[in-house]
Amino acid sequence: MKRQILVCASGVVVGAFLTAAWVSPPLQWPHESTIQAQTPRAISAKHDADLPLSASTPHFTPEELANIRVYEVANVSVVNITTSMAQYDHFFMLQTPGEGSGSGSVLDKEGHVLTNYHVVEGAEEIDVTLANDNNFAAELIGFDKETDIAVLKINAPTEQLYPINLGTSDGLRVGQRVYALGNPFGLDGTLTTGIISSLNRTPSENARRRSLKALIQTDAAMNPGNSGGPLLNTNAEVIGMNIAIATKTGQNAGVGFAIPANRIRRIVPELIKHGRIIRPDHGIVSLLPTKQGLKIAKVNPRGPADRAGLRGFRIVRQQKQHGPIVYQREFIDSDYADYILAVNGQSTRTPNEFLDVVEQFRPGDEIVITILRQGREKQVTLSLGSI
């Protein structure tokens, strides 16, 4: 059976004309016009910086001019991230240094940098190199494993920081032109272009990064080192953060994925404020998919589900006597457990569907869970905790 390997990647989208960036609190990304005014010309040697690009470079096509314009705006906001960590040779019992690299984007003038968590996971030292080649030590101030999003902090002079234009992932269409900007193989400021080839993709699901779903798929070339870089639209706005490529060889195969910008907008402020995502706690430890519904295998003692009266498997102890010998027998009674059918009227057939619905709420909210208990449906009100 052929294997599909997920490798780091990143993407950037480019466009013809620059529009004002979509900004939403509490993160205050500057408008694109502000970035453009602050942006040094990356190709100043090729044209008169005092003239419009189209007037000074008539040998470029309109499409090329759009690519160049977006690159000039976005490249100053994209950083190279290098990491160092200790690796162990278990055969020789030796510790050896290890290194990694990826990409990222400057979020604000305070020095916050957006990247993938897997780019910096396990790192003992993190260094960020800006587009002007100045290097700064970085601190990991917040991350979320499930969504593979991390925020770093560098102490760089504000005049060297050019915040990226964070757009929106609303209204994206298959066929829309996009651009990937990053540092594949350590080659700074590499721009590739393509189209959105699909939406709402889920390349893989696992317990560790359950939320890698509803991703943007693109054919823009991505390779190792691009992870954490921006995927841009033709307005030089970030519509996603590139996370992986699907390949059989470890190199680009024309299928890349990016985390939608709206998810980034929702998660990043919490990472900056709390260092983590505060998720609602339902108190159910294990769910088993069955034809009847999601069977509750275990609940946390005194947790929200337990307090609401939801039931998982129970251990039954019976005392037995065999002649003069008295002994105790234990067995698991799975018939005692409840089946979850729906949350607030929305059907949940898999554990991930259940979690997706629950995570639409906040700690302290009440949800109504429809269960099947010993052949009878009933509704249970559960007050969510926090984790």
- Render pLDDT for 136-146 as a digit per residue (tens, 0 to 9): 999 999 999 98
Residue 318 pLDDT: 81
Q: What is the mean pLDDT of residues 143-163?
A: 96
Beta carbons of 264 and 114 less than 8 angstroms apart: yes
Residue 38 is predicted with a pLDDT of 39
- Average pLDDT on 94-120 reads 87
pLDDT, greater one: 251 or 62: 62
The tens digit of pLDDT for each residue in 334-355 reads: 999 999 999 999 999 999 899 9
Q: 118 catalytic, yes or no? A: yes
Q: What's the confidence (pLDDT) of residue 56?
A: 54
Query: In the predicted model, what is the mean pLDDT of residues 48-71?
Result: 71
> How far apart, in whole angstroms, are the C-alpha atoms of residue 236 and residue 110?
21
What's the pLDDT score for residue 42? 37
The contacts of residue 313 (CB under 8 Å, 6+ apart) are 296, 297, 298, 332, 333, 334, 336, 337
pLDDT band at 18 (very low <50, low <70, confident <90, very high): very low
Strand, coil or helix: 159: helix
pLDDT band at 7 (very low <50, low <70, confident <90, very high): very low
Mean pLDDT throughout 57-76? 89
Query: What is the arithmetic mean of pLDDT over 112-119?
Result: 96
pLDDT for 310 equals 98
What's the pLDDT score for residue 74?
A: 96
Asked if 338 is an active-site residue, the reply is no
Peptide bond into 26 cis (omega under 30): yes
- When mean pLDDT is compared over 88-92, 131-135, 199-203, 252-256, the highest value belongs to 131-135
Choosing from 148, 169, 197, 282, the catalytic residue is 148
How confident is the model at residue 89, as a pLDDT?
58
Could you tell me the pLDDT band of residue 9, with boundaries at 50, 70 and 90? very low
Chain centroid to CA 51 = 40
* 28: pLDDT strictly greater than 50: no
Is the model's pLDDT at 376 over the cut of 90?
Answer: yes
Structural contact between residues 142 and 95, judged by C-beta atoms closer than 8 angstroms: no
Q: How much is the mean pLDDT over the chain?
A: 82
- The yes-or-no verdict on residue 174 having pLDDT over 60 is yes
Task: State in words which class domain 281-386 has.
Answer: mainly beta
DSSP, res 63? H
Name the band, by pLDDT with cuts 50, 70 and 90, for residue 37.
very low
Of the candidates 47, 112, 118, 282, the residue annotated as catalytic is 118
Q: Vertex 56, ends 60 and 177: CA angle to 5°?
A: 40
Element housing 274 (H / E): helix 261-274
Query: Which residue out of 77, 144, 227, 282 is catalytically annotated?
Result: 227
Distance CA 126, CA 120 (A): 7
- pLDDT reported for residue 92: 52
| Residue pointed to by tokens 């408008």 | 31
Instruction: Please report the pLDDT score of residue 150 as a whole number.
Output: 97
Encoded tokens for 341: 């059918």
Residue 111 or residue 23, greater confidence:
111
**pLDDT over 50 at 317, yes or no:** yes
Q: Is 101 a catalytic residue?
A: no
Given a cut of 90, is residue 105 above it in pLDDT? yes
